Amino acid sequence: MTSDCIFCKIIAGEIPGQFVYQDEQVVAFRDIHPIAPTHILIAPRKHFDSVHHVDASDEPLLGHLFTAARLIAEQEKVSQSGYRLVVNTGAGAGQTVFHIHMHLLAGKPMSDKLV
């Protein structure tokens, strides 16, 4: 846990989060400022600032984020309609919380343009 990280505090239960999924490695909770009808943040319990801070030894954990995303999409009933997974990396790419996380976005039509 990193003491000044808001997601570490949510994961530790120190501040509230609307959890939709939890396992030994990963948690998922609803985004406080949703930009789609379904907007869930999927994060490892282990703190990494960003994708730029991972290495090959982290691959099983990072791969698990995708398995969790699939399970959550099924749980949220958006698998058939489709969903977008986004990982902002660095302030210049829009990252505002520096605890690696994946956005799962669904529930509205999305453009094929990413930016």
How many residues touch ligand DGP (CB under 6 A)?
A: 13
Among 22, 5, 23, smallest CA distance to 14 is for 5
Three-state SS for 48? Answer: coil
Residues contacting residue 64 through CB under 8 Å, at least 6 positions apart:
25, 26, 44
**Stretch of 24-32, 57-65, 74-82, 107-115 lying at the interface with ligand DGP (CB under 6 A):** 24-32
Q: Which is nearer to ligand DGP, 15 or 75 (CB)?
A: 15
Based on the shown chain and the rule CB under 6 A, indicate whether residue 89 belongs to the binding site for ligand DGP. no
**Which parts of this chain interact with ligand DGP (CB under 6 A)?**
6, 17, 29-33, 41, 88, 94-97
